Amino acid sequence: MKWLSAGLIFVNLSTVCGLLLGMAGNGLNELSAVLALVSGGAFALAAYLGTSDSSTRPNISNSPAGESFILPPLKRYRHVWFWAMAACFALFALRSFCWLLYVDGEQLRIQSPNNLGDLALHITYIRYFANGVSLWPANPIYVFSEHLRYPAGMDLFNALLSYLHVDLIRGLVWTGLLASIATFYAFFRWGGMFGIAGFLFNGGVAGFEFLKTLKFGDYQGGKTIAWKSIPLTMFVTQRGLLYAIPAGLLLLWSWRERFFRIGERNRHRAPLPFWVELALYASMPLFHFHTFLALSIVLVCLFGLELVNQLKLTFDLIRREGIAGLRSLIIGKTRWGELFSDTRIRKHVALLLVSSVVPATFFVWLITDQFHARSVLEWHPGWVQNDDDFAAPFFQFWLMNFGIWVPLVFALIGLSGWNAWKSGWRWGKNLPEDVAFLLPASAIFILAFFVQTAPWGWDNLKLMIWAYFLVLPFLWSDLIIRWSMPIRIAVWIALFGSGFISLFGGLAAGRPGFEFSDRAELDAIGIAARRLPVEARFAAYPIYNHPLLLQGRKVVLGYPGHLWTEGFEYTDTYNWLTKLMQGSADWREIARALRVRYLFWGREEMINYPASKRPWEATAPLVASGNWGAIYDLEPTAVRP
């Protein structure tokens, strides 16, 4: 885990240092980018040297499944199933990221239809940061949002790379490939081969449509299926997860090793240095807020479980000895030590949470427009089982989406509780490892099931996947591994068959690629806009791949789908923009109200506003024009932003 720790710290602290230097210097420049990356490299070296990587057996006294242990890494690597999983992961990563965005003649094309809108937004943010705008910047896709409302840490990292003259496409490809390697190894160390398969091939029963059609396809990508392929619809499209998944798994691994698998003699050899845990956890909101929320639930549950244990011991003492016992507890250091000698979980978790309050609050403040973003928490039981295309009767919804996952998890929880009780565990004794992680997994799932945590209910998957990841290692080690080989094979097929078909069917579906942008048009508009102030805002047609957005320029409105998922009420603004672009009689006043400096008139505007009177052509200075269209300066009639 040394290399994983070092790599994640490099990304983490390079980004954080770049952010702080950019805020201090009123924007990024080449010097601040170099300093940030060098600082990240120095911290990465310290993380590598400070990380202790040793394969340990589970503490049998804390786990009813004591016979399930982790073999030394070199022996595990030789296992044929490991290489089978590695080959599948490599095929997914190479196909998804080497063709993430590619040149095809005069066109830029994209491999995944799921990624058309998402990648365009990330390119907007990368180019926006790289243009040197003040940090933390105004929102480039909504004029009335004073600050960017998005955990854009990974995009800021790629912007730093661009200052080292790393090509945009190469930066996206290599970031994706290296994140895939990190994710593969993190899952292997957290959940073994079962964990890797769980990530790659999550699914229910939708993919078994293959038995009728005999054709590979992304059957889980249908409009009626909510539990879609995690690799195709989340890992590739939501760039924050490229960092958040391996970083979150590294923290979970560290806590499992620290609290349950390292014996008394090795307590001084913590898996991760405290400062590494603090950096990864406290800055997580900058990269992926839902992962930060899930990790916080894990920490609170670990703290609460041990606290309940200590309270149980205290109540038992008072019940047995009465006032004398309470007095001995208050004034007797020996008795206090007997009861509270083993509080390593509570002490470590409390220190980590308290130390994270200031930095984590700062990053949350940053990505929520300084707490001005409206709360998206809403009571919404059932996740999306009653929403639009996903709606279905209860049992049909959960069976179609998750197959046998739900009954297996219920069986695991029941078995873990029974084994813990049978082995003699009671409140007041050290926590079993499986109970300690299954409880927060249940809490995360219950929260995601009953409370909507994003404007679009489906986005609760960003939280729900962490309940799924937490369960994976214990579902295998405590339940499935106990069964005979034929039953195990049948369970693997039932759990992962649909996901396997959907994953590789989805990869094949993007074979011809999808048109993303015209290279000549994009380059010409980039050259024209380069001479204009980076803080200026443009009026243009709101579409996800508008050339202005792909060059990192601010517009009045971005793609409505992006605005909706960020929680903006944009209908009135959209109508004003339409009136402006149609050339209504009060277009000057509208331009002033929308804080427009420049008006862009190009291919999309001609198509979508064919009846426009275009009065600006007679009154506003023309600052640039070409085959791609024209840019007009509305400064005489608009307020400079």
pLDDT digits (tens, 9 = 90+) for 192-233: 999 999 999 999 999 999 999 989 999 999 899 999 999 999
Do the beta carbons of residue 438 and residue 410 sit within 8 Å?
A: no
The residue type at 92: F
Biggest CA-to-CA distance, the chain: 94
Residue 338 has pLDDT above 70, yes or no: no
pLDDT tens, 89-127?
999 999 999 999 999 999 999 988 889 899 999 999 999
**pLDDT score for 356:** 97
pLDDT band of residue 261 (cuts 50, 70, 90) is confident
For residue 518, how many other CB atoms are within 10 A of its CB? 17
Contacts 24+ apart (CB under 8 A), 515-519: 515/107, 515/109, 516/101, 516/107, 516/108, 516/109, 516/110, 516/116, 516/119, 516/120, 516/545, 517/107, 517/108, 517/545, 517/547, 517/550, 518/106, 518/107, 518/108, 519/103, 519/106, 519/107, 519/108
Q: How far apart are CA 534 and CA 220, in angstroms?
A: 42
Neighbours of 268 (CB within 10 A): 7
Q: What angle do CA 396, 397, 400 make, to 5 degrees?
A: 75
For residue 536, give every residue at least 6 positions away whose Cβ sits within 8 Å of its Cβ, in sequence order, or none.
553, 554, 597, 598, 640, 641
Can you give the pLDDT at residue 566?
Answer: 87
Give the per-residue pLDDT at 68: 40
